[in-house]
Structure 1
């Protein structure tokens, strides 16, 4: 006879289903997936703690890597492409990837391999925000620089916007 309080499926099986559902939505880094798998699940009566052990989580992560559902290099490439399409610069993208648990070496390799023209992207963002002839007055140029720095562009890319116009 079975105990009525025990779950019908093992914690590992439920954890694996949860991981696949999470990864079906979008790619995640290993650190993100671990955090989400360890977090309580929202049930009908509020958050419910998972009975999964750290070993269960490790096993699920390992299975996801082996099945190619989880790939930090692919995640990094897709994240760089996504964030650059949204107008963010390389410094901000590096910082966000670092927060997501991607190793600095992997970040630098992916940034090197990506074919993004950061100067062109910075120009596009500045023109979208401040208009086609970029300002020439110092006070207005400072606003453009501050905006682009906050978006994560490097100072040399920002300065190239103002020097290349006169060449």
Structure 2
């Protein structure tokens, strides 16, 4: 643990990590054999939890707010958090705590990208739908952008 804890502290000083990300980082630079016991990594992780330096719930909230401000939708953010090893229950709890109006966010992203005039032709609407779906917005959130403009 002596060599892994300073590394964990240096990593957490730069940015927040999920527990799974931190385990991967520490395992990659662990002086121990990869198949050997994982106790030093567990000890370093536990130490970080004790001082609340590593907190998946807080990490999820910060990540959701950050990615939503960059114009990403709920589905994409959830997928990214799952890839980072965050539990589905923690993700849904964090989503509720953030209280983001995803319908308004979809409209804002659409107007930033395509302007105030919502396309009425099939080609333009299709392009906007694909863009919003790629950004991670649900189908009903995308449709609300079109229904608000009509």
Q: TM-score, normalised by structure 1?
A: 0.84
Aligned pairs, how many?
147
2:21 matched to 1:32? yes
Written as runs of structure 1 = structure 2, the 5 A alignment for 1:101-140 is 101-140=85-124
Q: Which residue of 2 aligns with 1:55?
A: 39
Instruction: Write out per-residue CA displacement over residues 24-45 of structure 1, whole angstroms, 9 at most, x where no aligned residue.
Output: 11111100000000113xxxxx
Q: 1:157 aligns with which of 116, 133, 141?
A: 141
Q: 1:94 aligns with which of 47, 62, 78?
A: 78
Q: Which residue of 2 aligns with 1:81?
A: 65
CA distance in 1, matches of 2:140, 2:69: 20
Instruction: Write out per-residue CA displacement over residues 97-156 of structure 1, whole angstroms, 9 at most, x where no aligned residue.
Output: 001111101101111121211111111111111111111111110100000000000110
CA distance in 2, matches of 1:69, 1:29: 10
Higher RCO (CA-CA < 8 Å; seq separation 6+): 2
SS in 1 for 2:108: helix
RMSD: 1.2
Q: 1:21 aligns with which of 10, 16, 20?
A: 10
CA distance in 1, matches of 2:70, 2:104: 14
Q: Which structure has more helix as a fraction of its residues?
A: 2
Please, which runs of 5 or more residues in structure 2 have no aligned partner? none
Larger Rg: 1
- Runs of 4 or more off by more than 3 Å in structure 1? none
Q: TM-score, normalised by structure 2?
A: 0.93
